[in-house]
Amino acid sequence: MTDTTPASPAPRTAREQAREGFRQAMSWLHTWAGLVLGWLLFAIFLTGTLSFFKTEINLWMRPELHGMPQPTRDVAERAVAAMNRKVPDVTQWIMRMPDERQNAITLLWRDTGNGRFETLLMNPQTGETVDARKTMGGEFFYRFHFELRTAQKGRWAIEGRWVVGVATMLMFIALLTGVVTHRRIFKDFFTFRPAKGGQRAWLDAHNVTGVLVLPFYLMITFSGLMIFHTLYMPSGIAVAYQGPKGVDSQTYFADLQGEKPERRVRRNPGDKVEPLPALALGPILETARTRWEGGRIGGIQARRDAQGTPVVEVTRHEGDRLQYRPERMLFHGTTGAVLEQTDATSPAAVTYGVLYGLHLGRFAGPGMRWVLVGFGLLGSLMIATGMVLWSIKRSAQGQRKGAAASDAPARLPFGQRLVASLNIASLAGLPLACAVYMASNRLIPLDSPERPDTELSYFFGAWGVALLWGVLFPNRRGWSVVLALAGAAWAALPLLNALTTAPHLGVSLPAGDWLWAGMDLTFLATGVLLGWLAWRLRPGRPLPGKATRRPAAMAAPDARPAAQA
């Protein structure tokens, strides 16, 4: 007679128990490192993704720059001459040369009575000033991404960088512990079961978005920490660059950028600086083009060095190579003589420059920028699915313990209600706030005082309304309403653009102006996607994978009891 008694499982070895205990510890760390600042990480990742097209957003939010002519070869001299006619006592100026992404010249200047830089936008052919509306444009997303910018003048910049640094470190920890926690992470990558619904579908989505571009996540978080290493890890610099008057940070930054320390000048408020004389700009630029064998000029800066000598620094275009801090040449301002050619060549400086360049993505062409945007959106989805998964998992645990399965917000425990409300405010409210911010650019009067800060008030106001709605309705109604509003706002941007400005789809599409048409089409596609999500999450819609049980009386007559089957 055969013994059918199931064999008892073999006892686990001490090594297996230790491995399982380590995995469980990593699971705990992964969960809480992602949950504590997950909502902030989503905002950082999404605004950083938008920053890859910062220049294009700047252009869309300044429609007066549409149709700028192609730049002439002497565009820099024309712009400086126009600036000198407008402001005769300029002591320093920085010029960004036009390129394929923006034809207008951006010129920052300050004079003897002004410690802050002022900005001029100039025509690339005539050099004359273009009267464009005041706005932070895409610069706001870029600044919010790494310093949580809340106003045009940059309040809480240092504190914001510290908060972003802590959040980035927690994300780096969550990525590393996630690899340890999910034992079958690469196997599960090929398994996505959205039809099952519930916790299984969200876990599959979290795994897929987490593994698909995992090297990108590791690179973007590590490089983000390295960019501000002087803020987060100043001790090494203090030891290696200790001077007679304390830490010589100027020498450190000069070594990092391949410069001579005596060329770096830090202007303090109240310092008296003589205005710049007439500069030999034409010969200087020709010499730079010859040395770089036709390489593009990205920027020009004129100032006085530590000895008071007028100097002109010419910087190569950032898109010419991966490493950030491109090559630079320093000229005597009046004679045009080459003083030095600088570039970061030490292994440490090159490594830092490559990480910096990878993080910013300014080397990328249009196709590669879209790839980076796709990676950034996948990262945002990874964070979002992790946050939603936490709520669904806790809800399922509560139901297994006998809690009533209800959509009424009053029956949710405080912790789950708080997380659900913040999920709606962050994951659905932030896209709404971004769309409202861009719509306000078309709605606020052009002569409105403090116009950039008014646009930001629309952004944070919309975000606050989403938070309030999430607190009142931390359920599917909350999700569907906020997502529907976000979809409507994004889809309305092309229409609002057509009603208020000239460069709309009716003009840009027939002319083949894909820079402007692409922006409106992207806004429309985003609105459709968010609207579809709102429709999928509408209250009363059956959840996927939830089959309706038939009553016992409707069962098949020949159905056998489960035990017999």
Residue 182 makes CB contacts below 8 A (sequence gap 6+) with 188, 207
Model pTM? Answer: 0.84
**According to the model, what pLDDT value does residue 18 have?**
55
Tokens at residue 346, please? 């030490």
**According to the model, what pLDDT value does residue 380 have?**
92
Rounded Cα distance, 331 and 138, in Å:
33
| Fold classification of 63-134 (topology level) | Nuclear Transport Factor 2; Chain: A, (3.10.450)
Chain-wide mean pLDDT for the chain? 81
* Confidence tier at 539 by pLDDT (50, 70, 90): confident
Lowest model confidence (mean pLDDT) among 40-44, 67-71, 445-449 = 67-71
* Confidence tier at 24 by pLDDT (50, 70, 90): low
Q: At what angle do helices 198-212 and 214-227 cross, to 10 degrees?
A: 60
Residue by residue, DSSP assigns 125-150 as: TT-PBP------TTHHHHHHHHH---
Residue 548 makes CB contacts below 8 A (sequence gap 6+) with 542
Lowest model confidence (mean pLDDT) among 61-70, 115-124, 168-177, 257-266 = 257-266
* Percent above pLDDT 70 for the chain: 79
Convert the pLDDT of each residue in 35-54 to its tens digit: 778 899 999 999 999 999 99
Q: Residues 81, 165: contact at Cβ < 8 Å? A: no
Lowest model confidence (mean pLDDT) among 21-25, 246-250, 406-410, 450-454 = 406-410
Average pLDDT over residues 435-441: 96
Instruction: Return the domain boundaries, the chain.
Output: 63-134, 226-360, 411-547
* Confidence tier at 204 by pLDDT (50, 70, 90): confident
* Confidence tier at 561 by pLDDT (50, 70, 90): very low
Highest mean pLDDT among 119-128, 171-180, 207-216, 223-232: 223-232
Per-residue pLDDT for 395 more than 60?
yes
Tokens at residue 47, please? 């605004």
* Confidence tier at 554 by pLDDT (50, 70, 90): very low
Strands (DSSP E) found in 288-425: 297-304, 310-316, 328-332, 338-342
Lowest model confidence (mean pLDDT) among 400-414, 431-445, 540-554 = 540-554
Instruction: Compute φ and ψ for 11, nearest 5 degrees.
Output: -60, 140
- Helix H or strand E segment including 225: helix 214-227
Rounded Cα distance, 522 and 529, in Å:
11
Per-residue pLDDT for 4 more than 90?
no
CA distances in angstroms from 183 to 110, 178, 248, listed in the order given? 58, 9, 48
Q: Is the dihedral of CA 99, 100, 105, 109 positive or negative?
A: negative
Rounded Cα distance, 431 and 424, in Å:
11
**According to the model, what pLDDT value does residue 438 have?**
96
Convert the pLDDT of each residue in 230-264 to its tens digit: 888 888 888 888 777 767 777 888 777 777 766 66
**According to the model, what pLDDT value does residue 222 have?**
93
**According to the model, what pLDDT value does residue 1 have?**
43
Question: From the CA atom positions of the chain, what is the Rg in Å?
Answer: 29
Measured from the Cβ of residue 278, the count of other Cβ atoms closer than 10 Å reads 11
**According to the model, what pLDDT value does residue 373 have?**
95
